[in-house]
Structure 1
Amino acid sequence: MYHTSSPLSGSFCPAEAHSGPKAMQRPSLSPRHVYTQPSGKPQDSNWDPQKVKDARGKLPEAFRAPWSELAMRRTCTCIYHFLVWSWYIFLNYYISQQGGDHRKSKIFLNGGQWKYLTFLNLLLQAIFYGVACMEDVLKRIKGERDIKFMSAFRDLLFTTLAFPISTFVFLSFWTLFLYDRELVYPKALDGIFPEWMNHAMHTTILPFSLVEVVLRPHCYPLRKKGLTLLAVASLAYISRVLWIYSETGTWVYPVFARLSPVGLTAFFSLSYIFSASIYILGEKLNHWKWGDIMQPRKKRK
């Protein structure tokens, strides 16, 4: 027996509907638009596009937009992913070259640059946009609507890590910075990293993630699975922070030095709760933008 699970309480996977040259035009509809079944085959008399309306009563975009417009949008998406991927590659390369500077090399002592969540996030974003760009290119080369493995990996990477972590870095950094910048980004760093670099690391990451949310739908895993993966990533980073402190006696961020063991426990716990809230926010934004069309069915246990 099957049932359709709610996107806000479980799995949510709005599919990118297919439209192609073989689509047949319905005489009763606008001649600008073409319609196909989700399989890509011309519709027959037993198929009704009204049945695939989303929760807001709208047809999927691919059922409403002409083929040429869809092709143009996919091309623009590919170009966008390539440009953002190139930007993150540049940032990672720029940071990797700072080890030769005596002043900057001190920042990377006791754990290197990868002890900072900011730099880990930049690497994560570069990986995600690289995967997204590669998928766009392969889909155009093979002429396929979807490449199952890469699409699944892309969505899992974005929904469970790329979006929650980039949003967390943006919100947590600027909250602490505005409260007391010495807790997270001491003023002495202004003479080491230029202002544009600070915004590249901590500001532009959120707009890029939000654009990705509205650019195309992403299949969310079951909420339990998604939050578990996010928890594993959080525990891995917290473990590294604690290990660095146990080995060197210094904290990655100055704010940790001002907290008691109980305060640290509360801080890390609240940080995960905050990250989980961001994950759920991303899930709801995805549903708000794309609805719950073609939602996968799950077996009832």
Structure 2
Amino acid sequence: MALALRGKRAVALLHFICLVWALFALTQNLGVPKSVRKEPDITYGGPWKYLTFLNQVLQTLLYILCVITDVVALCMPSKEKKVSSVVVPFRDFIFSAYVFPVGLFVAVAFWGLYAYDRELVYPRELDDINPSWLNHTMHTTILPLLFIELVICTHKYPRRWKGIWGLCIFSVIYVSWIMWIHHAAGVWAYPVLGVLSPCGQAAFLCTAFFIMLIFYFIGEQLTKWLWARRKKKCT
């Protein structure tokens, strides 16, 4: 009993630290000074046109829900079942359908394109605006946060078709959003889209979606493998 309580406290502490970091990264991203690029680039859609920022919002929401369930479990155990029945399914869906596949994609795609040609994703002029540490809060630290959450907290994946549809709907809405921004303001959220033909853009976006789909399956299988092994050890 004491060990179980100690474990819950440790998980709650880690979740709280992750939440503080996610909030810090999010607020620092919102406070980025104005760009030297053309005005529509910074005004229309603001940071909401970037998948990186949306992923930070999703991660922050996830950790808020995690902290809520942890606090209720530790401080109000009589209400744990009632609160968990509402919060936990929502928390698990956000992690499985959005936070893990999108977060992993953001880190892999950004640094992959950066290594190939940084001008396609993060032009050099941004170095004068975003300090290096802020770039890493947006594109690097999100990766260990994903795996910390995977290890310290079990997440029940939804039925596969529900998770895939959730990711698909999110992707369609996001692509529609950045297309609208280009139509309305004449700017691309990502410079790489500006150097591709319409067919190339379609191929790029479809490839990106299928990569996120692969990451969804990876998250699902890692969760099953990791927590199945732990259950065996406990029996």
Q: TM-score, normalised on structure 1?
A: 0.72
Report % sequence identity.
37
Matches within 5 A, 1:249-264: 249-264=186-201
- 1:208 pairs, out of 141, 145, 151, with 145
1:171 corresponds to which letter in structure 2? V
Structure 2's unaligned 5+ residue stretches are: none
1:109 corresponds to which letter in structure 2? T
Structure 1 residues 220, 102: CA separation in 2 closer, same or farther (over 3 Å shift)?
closer
1:163 aligns with 2:163: no
1:141 corresponds to which letter in structure 2? C
1:68 aligns with 2:2: yes
Q: Shift in Å at residue 96 of structure 1?
A: 2.1
Structure 1's unaligned 5+ residue stretches are: 1-66, 294-301
Provide the C-alpha distance between the structure 1 equivalents of 2:155 and 2:9, rounded to a whole number of angstroms: 18
- 1:110 pairs, out of 44, 50, 62, with 44
Q: Shift in Å at residue 249 of structure 1?
A: 1.7
- 1:223 pairs, out of 147, 154, 160, with 160
1:80 aligns with 2:14: yes
Q: Shift in Å at residue 86 of structure 1?
A: 1.0
1:291 — aligned with what? Answer: 228
Answer 1 or 2: which has greater helix percent: 2
Provide the C-alpha distance between the structure 2 equivalents of 1:121 and 1:104, rounded to a whole number of angstroms: 23
Q: Shift in Å at residue 92 of structure 1?
A: 1.7
Runs of 4+ in 1 over 6 A off after TM superposition: none
C-alpha RMSD over aligned residues: 1.9
1:265 aligns with 2:202: yes
- 1:278 pairs, out of 195, 200, 215, with 215
- 1:236 pairs, out of 154, 159, 173, with 173
1:210 corresponds to which letter in structure 2? F
Q: Deviations over 1:149-207 (max 9, x none)?
A: 11111111111111111101001001000000000001111111111111110001011
Provide the C-alpha distance between the structure 2 equivalents of 1:74 and 1:105, rounded to a whole number of angstroms: 50
Secondary structure of the structure 1 residue equivalent to 2:135 = helix
Q: Deviations over 1:86-112 (max 9, x none)?
A: 11111222222235x464895523321
* Equivalent pairs, count: 227
8 Å contact kept, 2:52–2:138: yes
Secondary structure of the structure 2 residue equivalent to 1:108 = helix
Matches within 5 A, 1:166-185: 166-185=103-122
8 Å contact kept, 2:65–2:87: yes
Q: TM-score, normalised on structure 2?
A: 0.91
2:193 corresponds to which letter in structure 1? F
Q: Deviations over 1:269-292 (max 9, x none)?
A: 111111110000000000110119
2:67 corresponds to which letter in structure 1? C
Provide the C-alpha distance between the structure 1 equivalents of 2:69 and 2:215, rounded to a whole number of angstroms: 26
Q: Which has the higher contact order (CA 8 A, sep 6+)?
A: 1
Provide the C-alpha distance between the structure 1 equivalents of 2:178 and 2:28, rounded to a whole number of angstroms: 24
Provide the C-alpha distance between the structure 1 equivalents of 2:23 and 2:53, rounded to a whole number of angstroms: 12
